[in-house]
């Protein structure tokens, strides 16, 4: 299809008509562009950032690194790509992933399909002709048949709800909006707020430079040493030889990373054997830690054995017993908040110039001109580093004025929490797709495995529709409600809902408290999607406008 330009009567701007619009040029959006182009669809990606890369464009804080191994966290759709690209370390750094994203975009000629610095403001479905009108903050108007939200699960950052942030006169940084030129902390007094993955990765490196570092911890987190290292070329070559089988195993696994299936309850083995098992996994395999036993993530007593093992490790590393106890997580089961991989995180608290403040004991009350005030005292600093996370999974969709059939707003449809069919589509929002959306395995998996599966599903569904002369694909209400009930039911079987996590929306005041990801496993999920597609896309209705 060729582009047509019409004059938009209302805005006086040119409306560009395309077959497909993709929002976001991260790892999902770029692969979606590639697949749609393969179907001959005129496709454009609108990207808010100044370059491609999504998460890996924005999150440039010191130590930013993926905690899935590089040879797993990479596209599998092209055998030559996966053979050619050489990773340098076990866990890839942010700059290396960004280089990889550029390599992929160069290799498949994707750059010219992406419009940078273009943030989508609204997307309204037109009942009369079954197409979408999409407007950008810059006033562009787009007219598209297919609309793919490849907006990421962790892309709308959040600041803490503490009064006074605008009064601080020093430097303010958020891990998800790090300056491209970096930030030098040499000789400075620094506060880091937040001890999730971003904080835990950044803190040791900030400590290397800062004159004084105070870490403000609200919730102690479980973290395991990454033991990162350069990738041995022979080991890399061997993995590449085995890629076909390995990728298949990843696709059929629980978390998108193949690990041997557990066969025993943690409570049926004796403590020595259990300890040996945790010791063998510690510092080697985060998913292995989570899946050591059949009941690790479903039975509180079984889970506690892993949690206590980590606490013992913390006590073994941190010299000051009081600091060690403050760093020991106690208010959520192991794994129910995203566990972290670190490089020297706990040992950082043995350094003279590093302090830990327990916000459970002395909550933050205010940000002042000079620093932070807790219920106990004021801390004067030069830099405030917010590692305070994201409005996860739904934040980036909520930021867009999204309206489906009859002008129904997504915000209203999801007032009590997201309702989706497979985490992919929302009933009443035809031709709209959410890549790794709420209700899919997404954040509970190796994102690359989930991204490829979703993008392939969408591309195949659109091809299926077009081959049958249909231009509109939409999930039925029953299918979406049925799937969402299933997602909740499986979630409720586990310990995940017990944590005040971003999986539960608990980190954003007023957000409905529901477990948003699907914990049934990427293998089972894929099988379900494949079956439903083979049966003619059960739960989806096809029509022409």
197 lies in the site for ligand NA7, by CB under 6 A: yes
Q: What is the DSSP letter of 407?
A: G
The β-bridge partners of 120 are 136
Task: Retrieve residue 264's tokens.
Answer: 């025993």
**Shortest Å, Cβ 33 to ligand NA7:** 24
**Binders of ligand NA7 in range 203-222 (CB under 6 A):** 216, 218-219
Identify whether the C-beta of residue 322 lies closer than 8 Å to the C-beta of residue 180: no
Stretch touching ligand NA7 by CB under 6 A, among 82-90, 91-99, 193-201, 295-303: 193-201
* Member of 193, 306, 324, 459 binding ligand NA7 (CB under 6 A): 193
Q: Which residue is nearest to ligand NA7 (CB)?
A: 196
3-state secondary structure of 3: coil
**Shortest Å, Cβ 423 to ligand NA7:** 17
Q: What is the DSSP letter of 231?
A: P
**Shortest Å, Cβ 115 to ligand NA7:** 26
* Member of 3, 127, 161, 238 binding ligand NA7 (CB under 6 A): 161
Whose CA is closest to 151, among 19, 270, 54?
54
CB atoms within 10 A of CB 343: 18
Full 3-state SS string of 361-427: CCCEEEECCCEEEECCCEEECCEEEECCCECCCCHHHHCCEEECHHHCEHHHHCCCCCCCECCCECC
What is the Cα–Cα distance from 451 to 28, expressed in whole angstroms? Answer: 6
* Member of 389, 395, 428, 438 binding ligand NA7 (CB under 6 A): 389
Stretch touching ligand NA7 by CB under 6 A, among 25-33, 142-150, 346-354, 381-389: 381-389
Strand order in the sheet with 354-358: 171-174, 383-386, 189-193, 212-217, 354-358
413 lies in the site for ligand NA7, by CB under 6 A: no
Stretch touching ligand NA7 by CB under 6 A, among 108-116, 195-203, 451-459, 480-488: 195-203
Q: What is the DSSP string of 93-119?
A: BHHHHHHHHHHHHHHTT-GGGEE-S--
Residue nearer to ligand NA7 on the CB measure, 386 or 429: 386
Residue nearer to ligand NA7 on the CB measure, 114 or 153: 153
Residue nearer to ligand NA7 on the CB measure, 16 or 158: 158
Stretch touching ligand NA7 by CB under 6 A, among 13-21, 77-85, 180-188, 192-200: 192-200
**Binders of ligand NA7 in range 327-366 (CB under 6 A):** 338, 359, 364
Stretch touching ligand NA7 by CB under 6 A, among 24-32, 122-130, 383-391, 512-520: 383-391
**Shortest Å, Cβ 5 to ligand NA7:** 40
174 lies in the site for ligand NA7, by CB under 6 A: no
160 lies in the site for ligand NA7, by CB under 6 A: yes
196 lies in the site for ligand NA7, by CB under 6 A: yes
**Shortest Å, Cβ 196 to ligand NA7:** 2
3-state secondary structure of 157: strand
Identify whether the C-beta of residue 421 lies closer than 8 Å to the C-beta of residue 371: no
Stretch touching ligand NA7 by CB under 6 A, among 197-205, 318-326, 434-442, 479-487: 197-205
What is the Cα–Cα distance from 31 to 7, expressed in whole angstroms? Answer: 31
3-state secondary structure of 390: strand
Chain-centroid distance of CA 380 in Å reads 33
How many chain residues interact with ligand NA7 (CB under 6 A)?
Answer: 24
* Member of 74, 146, 323, 388 binding ligand NA7 (CB under 6 A): 388
* Member of 387, 400, 473, 495 binding ligand NA7 (CB under 6 A): 387
**Shortest Å, Cβ 34 to ligand NA7:** 25
In Å, how far are 197, 426, 432 from 345, measured between CA atoms? Answer: 11, 41, 41
Left if phi > 0, otherwise alpha if psi is -120 to 50, otherwise beta: which for 101?
alpha
What is the Cα–Cα distance from 475 to 426, expressed in whole angstroms? Answer: 6
* Member of 114, 154, 231, 356 binding ligand NA7 (CB under 6 A): 154
In Å, how far are 213, 216, 228, 486 from 340, measured between CA atoms? Answer: 21, 17, 13, 28
Residue nearer to ligand NA7 on the CB measure, 487 or 517: 517
**Shortest Å, Cβ 109 to ligand NA7:** 30
436 lies in the site for ligand NA7, by CB under 6 A: no
Whose CA is closest to 206, among 214, 197, 196?
214
What is the Cα–Cα distance from 502 to 337, expressed in whole angstroms? Answer: 8
194 lies in the site for ligand NA7, by CB under 6 A: yes
Whose CA is closest to 74, among 55, 47, 101?
101
**Shortest Å, Cβ 341 to ligand NA7:** 10
Q: Is the dihedral of CA 279, 280, 284, 285 positive or negative?
A: negative
199 lies in the site for ligand NA7, by CB under 6 A: yes
**Binders of ligand NA7 in range 485-504 (CB under 6 A):** 502
Tell me which residues touch ligand NA7 (CB under 6 A): 154, 160-162, 175, 193-199, 216, 218-219, 338, 359, 364, 387-390, 502, 507
């Amino acid at each position: 299809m060729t582009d047509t330009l019409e004059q938009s009567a209302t805005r006086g701007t040119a409306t560009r008509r395309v077959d497909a619009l993709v929002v976001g040029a991260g790892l999902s959006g770029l692969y979606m562009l590639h697949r749609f182009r393969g179907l001959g669809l005129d496709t454009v990606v609108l990207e808010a950032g100044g370059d491609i890369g999504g998460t890996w464009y924005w999150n440039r804080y010191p130590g930013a690194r993926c905690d899935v191994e590089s040879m797993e966290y990479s596209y599998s759709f092209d055998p030559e790509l996966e053979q050619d690209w050489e990773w340098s370390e076990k866990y890839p750094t942010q700059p290396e992933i960004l280089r990889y994203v550029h390599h992929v975009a160069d290799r498949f000629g994707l750059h010219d399909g992406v419009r940078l610095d273009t943030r989508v403001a609204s997307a309204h479905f037109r009942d009369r002709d079954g197409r979408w009108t999409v407007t950008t903050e810059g006033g562009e108007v787009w007219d598209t048949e297919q609309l793919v939200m490849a907006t990421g699960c962790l892309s709308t950052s959040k600041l803490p709800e503490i009064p006074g942030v605008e009064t601080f006169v020093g430097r303010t940084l958020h891990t998800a909006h790090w300056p491209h030129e970096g930030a030098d902390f040499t000789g400075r007094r620094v506060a880091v707020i937040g001890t999730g993955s971003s904080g835990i990765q950044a803190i040791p490196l900030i400590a290397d430079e800062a004159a004084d570092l105070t870490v403000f911890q609200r919730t102690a987190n479980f973290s395991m040493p990454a033991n990162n290292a350069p990738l041995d070329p022979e080991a890399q070559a061997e993995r590449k030889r085995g890629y076909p089988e390995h990728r298949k195993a990843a696709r059929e696994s629980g978390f998108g990373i193949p690990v041997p299936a557990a066969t025993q309850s943690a409570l049926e083995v004796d403590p020595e054997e259990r300890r040996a098992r945790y010791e063998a996994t510690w510092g080697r395999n985060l998913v292995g830690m989570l899946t050591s036993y059949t009941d690790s993530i479903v039975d509180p007593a079984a889970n506690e054995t892993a949690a206590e093992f980590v606490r013992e490790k913390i006590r073994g590393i941190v010299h000051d017993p009081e600091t060690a106890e403050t760093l020991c997580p106690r208010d959520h089961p192991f794994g129910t908040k995203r566990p972290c991989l670190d490089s020297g995180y706990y040992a950082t608290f043995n350094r003279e110039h590093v302090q830990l403040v327990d916000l459970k004991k002395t909550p933050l009350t205010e940000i002042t001109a000079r620093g932070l005030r807790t219920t106990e005292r004021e801390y004067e600093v030069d830099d405030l580093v917010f590692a305070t996370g994201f409005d996860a999974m739904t934040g980036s969709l909520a930021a867009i004025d999204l309206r489906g059939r009859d002008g129904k707003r997504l915000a209203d449809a999801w007032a009590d929490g997201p309702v989706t069919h497979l985490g992919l589509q929302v009933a009443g929002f035809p031709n709209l797709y959410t890549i790794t959306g709420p209700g899919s395995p997404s954040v509970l998996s190796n994102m690359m495995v989930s991204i490829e599966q979703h993008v392939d599903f969408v591309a195949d569904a659109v091809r299926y529709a077009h081959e049958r002369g249909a231009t509109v694909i939409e999930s039925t209400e029953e299918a979406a409600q049925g799937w969402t009930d299933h997602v909740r039911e499986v979630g409720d079987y586990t310990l995940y809902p017990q944590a005040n996590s971003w999986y539960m929306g608990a980190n954003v005041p007023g957000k409905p408290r529901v477990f948003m990801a699907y914990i049934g496993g990427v293998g089972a999920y894929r099988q379900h999607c494949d079956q439903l597609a083979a049966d003619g896309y059960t739960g989806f209705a096809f029509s022409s406008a």
